[in-house]
Amino acid sequence: MAPAPLRNDPFPEIRRADDAGAAFVLESKGEWWHAGFHLTTAIVGPTVLTLPYVFRGLGWGLGFLCLTVMGLVTFYSYYLMSLVLDHCEKSGRRHIRFRELAADVLGSGWMFYFVVLIQTAVNTGISIGAILLAGECIQIMYSELSPHGPLKLYHFIAMVTVVMIFLSQFPSFHSLRHINLVSLFLSLGYTFLVVGACINAGKSKNAPPRDYSLETSQLSRVFSAFTSISIIAAIFGNGILPEIQATLAPPATGKMLKGLMLCYSVILVTFYSASVSGYWVFGNKVNSNILKSLMPDEGPSLAPTWVLGLAVVFILLQLFAIGLVYSQVAYEIMEKKSADANKAVFSPRNLIPRIILRTLYMALCGFFAAMLPFFGDINGVVGAIGFIPLDFVLPMLLYNMTFKPKKSSVIYWINTSIMVVFSGAGLLGSFSSIRKLVLDANKFKLFSSDIVD
């Protein structure tokens, strides 16, 4: 039986009949642990290696507090969104796209396009960033084997892009479940390798002097603290929870909570161990990437080469999975119009357009990654503007609009407070990211072989 049309639906194209995006890319066949694999890949990535740097701007006490609060708030936020999705499903309106959910619950046509814009910007940005970082991983290994070799960063980015083009042909989000299971173990693997390397460095005779003091200027200290908080918010963000929940076989009610618990178990292990070990060894001298602190430009390496090399290989492999996960929304949007749901998924009618469009998408992401090796600065602005509304504001607003808690209730004020606080944090994060973009502008060079840190 066909599902009921959306309430006050101003978008007839989002109905399920002949919806190839829903039938192919967002097919609903998964179990709760599959959702846990997807969530873990979307959240637990190489950005975990920046957490010691976050503590550098906050110190021990505030660092632990902010990391814990942000973890609790994001878990709560994602859980509320899953409840809203479950409620809509019980009402006969199962939403498998973030934009549909926002437009339906908030009853506003412009919200549909707002979410499309923000989600597309964030997801494309992460896909470009994943290719750029994967290229850098290969460059690191190449420079160790051939310090004066002729290959440049953009050569390695081209190699990564070719691999991503092949991997992008997996037809659905659900078909990535095994890749994302491997991704989960890879995140644990490189985290444990880095933590072990940090402990070894801290106990070695070459251990750097430890200084955990914050900046002397009060203004600089406040600015660094807000920058660190923005980094934590971006690390915990994903922006695609409705699409991940869409991969669950109906009824999806209650399954997402189990997936979230699996994901946050991995977060608990990786985030805290990386933060503590890295900051413990290097203190306020820690680099924005802990691997660079372990491999200083001057002086001996503070960890065995094989340990750091294996960690880089694990990171490289996981970046392929991250790029695939965040490309799914783009594929769903493209195939909604280009594919025919009445034909088989691997029929020539659907296979040929899929190969062409996904190849073009990945080729464009690879081109921008090679052309803009300073994309991390741009991505910081996109992340601050995108992750905050998608992960810290809209879930609370959707819950309040759906379940209508009394304005005198605790949950109403908790949700409202989170929206206000994180809207402010988003503005400050955007300001700090734009400031860094301006400060680094003189280092930008198209198709450079060095990434602006």
Q: Quick count: other Cβ atoms within 10 Å of Cβ 445? A: 12
The one-digit pLDDT tens for each residue of the chain (453 residues) are: 444 444 444 444 445 556 888 888 888 899 999 999 999 999 999 989 889 988 988 999 999 999 999 999 999 999 999 999 999 988 888 888 998 898 888 887 788 888 888 888 888 888 988 998 899 889 888 887 888 888 888 899 999 999 999 999 999 999 999 999 999 999 999 999 999 999 999 888 877 888 888 887 887 787 778 778 878 888 898 889 999 999 999 888 889 999 999 999 999 999 999 999 999 999 988 888 888 888 876 777 888 889 989 999 999 999 999 999 999 999 999 998 888 888 888 999 999 999 999 999 999 999 988 887 665 556 566 666 778 888 889 999 999 999 999 988 999 999 999 999 888 877 777 777 677 667 666 666 666 666 555
Tell me the angle at which helices 305-325 and 109-145 cross, rounded to the nearest 10 degrees. 150
Structure-block tokens of residue 306: 């094989």
- Cα–Cα distance measured from residue 208 to residue 156, given in angstroms and rounded to the nearest whole number: 33
Q: Which residues of 276-307 are buried (b: 16+ CB within 10 A; e: fewer)?
A: bbbbbbbbbebbebbbebbbeeeeeebbeeeb
Return the pLDDT at 8: 45
Domain boundary assignment for the chain = 20-441
Q: What is the DSSP letter of 300?
A: -
- Cα–Cα distance measured from residue 229 to residue 272, given in angstroms and rounded to the nearest whole number: 15
Q: Whose CA is closest to 37, among 323, 244, 249?
A: 244
Q: Which residues contact 402 (CB under 8 A, 6 or more apart)?
A: 84, 87, 88, 105
The model carries a pTM of 0.90
Q: Whose CA is closest to 97, among 260, 307, 335?
A: 335
Q: What is the pLDDT of residues 172-197, one digit of tens each?
A: 999 999 999 999 999 999 999 999 99
Cα distances from 162 to residues 170, 359, 361, in angstroms, run: 14, 9, 12
- Cα–Cα distance measured from residue 55 to residue 227, given in angstroms and rounded to the nearest whole number: 11
- Cα–Cα distance measured from residue 117 to residue 308, given in angstroms and rounded to the nearest whole number: 38
Return the pLDDT at 450: 63
Return the pLDDT at 6: 41
Return the pLDDT at 16: 55
Arch. (CATH architecture) of 20-441? Up-down Bundle (1.20)
SS3 (DSSP) at 362 = helix
331 φ/ψ angles, rounded to the nearest 5 degrees: -65, -40
The DSSP string of 180-225 is HHHHHHHHHHHHHHHHHHHHHHHHSTTPPPP-----SSHHHHHHHH
Q: What is the pLDDT of residues 247-304, one digit of tens each?
A: 999 888 889 999 999 999 999 999 999 999 999 999 988 888 888 888 876 777 888 8
Query: Rg of the Cα trace of the chain?
Result: 22
Return the pLDDT at 198: 94
